[in-house]
Structure 1
């Protein structure tokens, strides 16, 4: 068997982590023959809860899980990491301005980026989940200058899965018959779920989504707003944020980084923009369609972008630029 890899989950006493840890520990993400050591980081008041999570992981008797390390110390959590899944963040509280939320999270992710820089392997793959995920990811990457920016990504796979599922339900087919939906931009209500390049498999034949759905008004209207507002809809119904679906998306995202995307298929990930793709400004973490091979992502280039799509892609980019500039003003403090 291979040597164990070291995998960190932050916010490890929270509800997303509770849905996530079992899947990681049993081999759904890094492979069925890959032993691992789980590092679980949370704030000091959550350590008693974390002890309960550790007991449950032990009680699962999972053959791949070699060790579980609960901690509130960054120097322990970030040591020699192969993968980091940064779930923990400051949630938005009632009456809190977005600016206040950004300020609180800049402090968290600046610190975690510095810890990655100091303690983790330079090959570490970092996935930022805690919101605002794109900007938190950018701050983390900026705070870890010795780790390549290409090693950082943020989660828009949940939105990707939501879009895929909406199209599948509309067509009355399984979700895996729908591929190459795209989430452009920010993991926020300005994101643009795009099906202009989506393929739907009907009786073994791939067809454009617009031809199969046969309802352009829905695809350009309610479909987009449903995906954009899905997180808020879940909170309204459950009185809690998405946990099961977020955990599944995290697994999908990290598994694709580790093992690659299928031939002819692309997925959505928030990745570093160098300003060369689709007119998106540089120095943003922006969700693009990507393919992955040998643990390296590549933006899918050359897709035709119509005026409808262009306007929505620019709107979400503008929000990200504003978020970035606000966050960077706090970074200097």
Structure 2
């Protein structure tokens, strides 16, 4: 462990705080990790009465910017940051870890084929899974943010067999948040009024944004609830332009900023963890990629984004929803892509162990 910094002097003197939750963030000096740790320090994960012990993991060549991040965290004097630890050792990073936020991943470079990307990330997430299996708390909860997030999550889970399967998730909350914002803009309401839009499948261009369960709170008047389809009155827009805009939002941001989404991804990761631990509101559905149990005909074992509700630190897939024919066809496409990703990644890992 390279550094341990106790921030006890920053704790709220007049508020009864709980025992800190141990949170490990990989890729902590990258753009998403950098934004995430400041949100975490503000209490976005577990609420304003829950301190955290934060462990930051980075590659040796990113040690300096990681230390700079810690200096900024120090300067924020966040009351909820009980301790900060930094390390470049994957084994040390997960000792006693209760929540693992796996952000660091190898990005797709020029000329890199998908199979190469899956191969390189397979090695990274295999090693992280093995470290979690050896050193983390037995009820450690894992959120994979680094892309390809669904398949990276599947790999981590396979190499951490002592941790319950339901403790492994990948993030599609960013896609859901994007869908909320896009629909709100279309209707002319605030995004906080949007509920129950669903992201099915992969966190990729094949994802399936679904407004069939969506509702608009306090619309058109306070106290009223209106179905998204009724508020938009344009099924063609909801099943074409809306779906395409959500799925391509990340690419559009890259085109404008010449950088991928960072703060919005970090914020979505906070939303994901918060709802997982604190629970969803009554009647609220959120999207999480989880290890499939076969629900909706998705092959068991794939990491697939479903509509879920959360309570007492556990998620549950919402059952009994119906797909129209167009949605069903799109689900088949995203499922096929996930199967192909899984097979390519596992074949590569098997070849590397021979």
What TM-score, normalized by structure 2, do the two folds share?
0.93
Residue equivalent to 2:14: none
1:282 is matched with which residue? 300
1:215 to 234, 237, 250: 234
- The within-5 A match list for 1:119-268 is 119-201=135-217, 202=219, 203=221, 204-268=223-287
CA RMSD across the alignment:
0.8
Of 125-134 and 72-81, the range deviating more from structure 2: 72-81
CA distance in 2, matches of 1:180, 1:5: 29
- The answer to whether structure 1 residue 292 and structure 2 residue 313 are counterparts is no
What do the CA deviations read for 1:263-309 (whole angstroms, capped 9, x no partner)? Answer: 0001000001021x111111100000000001110000011222121
Provide the rounded CA distance (Å) in 1 between the counterparts of 2:334 and 2:224: 33
Q: How many residues align?
A: 332
Residue 331 of structure 1, CA deviation: 2.2
Rounded Cα–Cα distance in structure 1 between residues aligned with 2:216 and 2:23: 35
| Cα deviation 1:177-225 (Å, max 9, x = unaligned) | 1100000000000000000111112122222111110111211111111
Q: Give the whole-Å Cα distance in 2 for the aligned partners of 1:35 and 1:161.
A: 26
Structure 1: how far apart are the matches of 2:169 and 2:180? 20
Q: Which moved more, 1:67-76 or 1:87-96?
A: 67-76
Deviations 1:56-101 (A, max 9, x none): 1011111111111111101211000110000000000011001000
Q: SS of 1:278's equivalent?
A: helix
CA distance in 1, matches of 2:147, 2:121: 8
* Inter-partner Cα distance in structure 2 for 1:302 and 1:284: 20
Taking the TM superposition and a 5 Å limit, the aligned residue runs for 1:301-312 are 301-312=319-330
2-side partners of 1:235 and 1:6: how far apart? 33
Q: What is the CA–CA distance in structure 1 between the aligned matches of 2:167 and 2:75, rounded to whole Å?
A: 33
Distance in 2, Cα, partners of 1:294 & 1:211: 34
* 1:13 aligns with one of 13, 19, 29: 29
| Equivalence for 2:348 | 330
Distance 1:102 1:327 in 2: 5
Q: Does residue 48 of structure 1 match 2:64?
A: yes
C-alpha displacement of 1:121:
0.4
How many angstroms apart in 1 are the aligned matches of 2:178 and 2:317? 21
Task: For residue 297 of structure 2, give the secondary structure of its aligned residue in structure 1.
Answer: coil
- Per the alignment, residue 12 of structure 2 pairs with none
CA distance in 1, matches of 2:239, 2:43: 39
Task: For 1:74 and 1:31, locate their aligned partners in 2 and report how far apart those are by CA, in whole Å.
Answer: 28
Q: How does 1:39-118 map to 2 (within 5 A)?
A: 39-118=55-134
Runs (5+) with no aligned partner, structure 1: none
| Separation (CA, whole Å) in 2 of partners of 1:139 and 1:45 | 25
- Cα distance in 1 for partners of 2:251, 2:188 equals 25
Runs of 4+ deviating beyond 2 Å: none
Distance in 2, Cα, partners of 1:169 & 1:89: 32
Q: TM-score, normalised by structure 1?
A: 0.98
- When structure 1 is superposed on structure 2, of 216-225 and 88-97 the one drifting more is 216-225
Which residues of structure 2 form unaligned runs of 5+? Answer: 1-16
